[in-house]
Amino acid sequence: MKPRYTLFIAISIVGILIDQITKTVIDRTMQQFESIPIIVNFFNLTYVRNKGAAFSFLSNASWRLPFFITISFIAALVILIAFHRLRDDQRLAHVSLAMIFSGAVGNLIDRIRLGEVIDFLDVHWYLHHWPAFNVADSLICVGVFLLAVDMILEEKRLKKV
């Protein structure tokens, strides 16, 4: 097996495990809507459940669950296809797609298991809160950022050729 596939599998497994373990710990040790200040006026652990997508998008739609499960499966498949098409030297893209994949699968597991996603990372400035999120969401965001960086670097590499 090529090293890039080993890397993808390792990052995916570690990302999914960290996501699921943190959600399980929050679910078992906190009551829903309970909040624990970690950095006063900036960061709390706050246990909430999200039936929708980002910012609770479509949380009240009756068809939301099959829709989000289907979209997650399609996204995971597209990521695997895109990863397979990468060159061996595109290491940053390998890492970023593995992070995005593990985040998508982590939230997919919640949707299948619970019908909603457990969120608990609450970043805020005094009373101004960003919507709570989780490790899977963080993996997706960081992965997308790294993928954008890789695309810029790839464009520069191609211009040099």
* Mean pLDDT value across residues 102-111: 96
Concatenated DSSP letters of the chain: --HHHHHHHHHHHHHHHHHHHHHHHHHHHS-TT-EEEEETTTEEEEEEEESSSGGGTTTT-TTHHHHHHHHHHHHHHHHHHHHHHS-TT-HHHHHHHHHHHHHHHHHHHHHHHHSSEEEEEEEEETTEEPPPB-HHHHHHHHHHHHHHHHHHHHHHHHHH-
pLDDT digits (tens, 9 = 90+) for 57-98: 666 677 778 888 999 999 999 999 999 999 999 999 999 999
Task: Give the type of residue at 93.
Answer: A
The pLDDT, as a whole number, for residue 146 is 98
Cα three-residue angle 140-142-143, rounded to 5 degrees: 60
- pLDDT, the chain, mean: 93
User: Which entry of 19, 110, 122, 137 is annotated as an active-site residue?
Assistant: 137
* Mean pLDDT value across residues 14-18: 98
Q: What is the pTM of this model?
A: 0.91
- Identify any residues that bridge with 49 across adjacent strands, giving them in sequence order: 118
* Mean pLDDT value across residues 97-104: 98
Alpha-carbon separation of residue 157 from 82, 106, 152 (angstroms): 19, 33, 9
Q: Does the active-site annotation cover 27?
A: no
pLDDT at 108 over 70: yes
Residue 157 pLDDT level (bands cut at 50, 70, 90): confident
User: Which entry of 110, 119, 122, 150 is annotated as an active-site residue?
Assistant: 119
pLDDT at 54 over 70: no
Structure token digits, residue 10: 């390792």
The pLDDT, as a whole number, for residue 58 is 67
The pLDDT, as a whole number, for residue 8 is 98
